Chain A
Amino acid sequence: GNSVTQMEGPVTLSEEAFLTINCTYTATGYPSLFWYVQYPGEGLQLLLKATKADDKGSNKGFEATYRKETTSFHLEKGSVQVSDSAVYFCALSESGGGADGLTFGKGTHLIIQP
């Protein structure tokens, strides 16, 4: 079956540091890949997505590149801010993009210190 594996948290960084959150996946076909973010006290919201190999998704300074050869979709940001503190979820969808097919990772808690 499908699965998503994320690095264990929490990840603690200082403001303006470089961020990488690792995500690898297992899928039987050619999935679409997503990063969702959950701010304290809120539900998840879509951060970025990539639908095919070598696509790069980007939003709010975050980027992730769909790497089929390494089955990875690592999240990066060049300079993090305190406001980026949140839980980040990697997810995949293999059902032609249908929302019913989303598989989430367990989430990585990011803490940015001023």
Chain B
Amino acid sequence: DAGVIQSPRHEVTEMGQEVTLRCKPISGHDYLFWYRQTMMRGLELLIYFNNNVPIDDSGMPEDRFSAKMPNASFSTLKIQPSEPRDSAVYFCASSSRQGALNSPLHFGNGTRLTVT
């Protein structure tokens, strides 16, 4: 089990640039989540997918953020254009349909984004 794989681990970009974060969930997991972590706001759920379909994107901060899951083994979170306030650690997590009781969230190691 390779775990949830995120890339890149670190991303530094200038304001106004497009940023794409990538995630490969654990094979067989049909839920995928994107979280953002900051000191001020803690851990925030941005969006989650079930069977590659976005279910709840109410946590996406604004139209500059978009997420896709073209297949069961890959998801992207895109920010365009990026702003300094987007600086945070972005986590991807996955779990199986059995839910949190029998299959807790498995997190990737995160992407630390810095927008200057």
Contact = CB atoms under 8 A, between A and B. Distances in A.
Contacts of A42: 107, 109-110
Given A98-B99, A99-B99, A104-B42, A46 B104 contact: yes
B109 A99 contact: no
A93 B43 contact: no
Contacts, number: 68
Contact of B101 (A45, A49, A100, A106): A49
A92 B114 CA distance: 30
B12 interface: no
Contacts of B48: 100
Interface of A: 32, 34, 36, 41-46, 49, 51, 89, 93, 95-102, 104-107
Given A44-B91, A44-B107, A96-B99, 13 more contacts: A32-B101, A34-B104, A49-B104, A89-B43, A93-B99, A99-B95, A99-B99, A99-B100, A100-B31, A100-B33, A100-B48, A104-B42, A104-B43
Interface of B: 4, 31, 33, 42-43, 45, 48, 50, 55-56, 91, 93, 95, 98-110
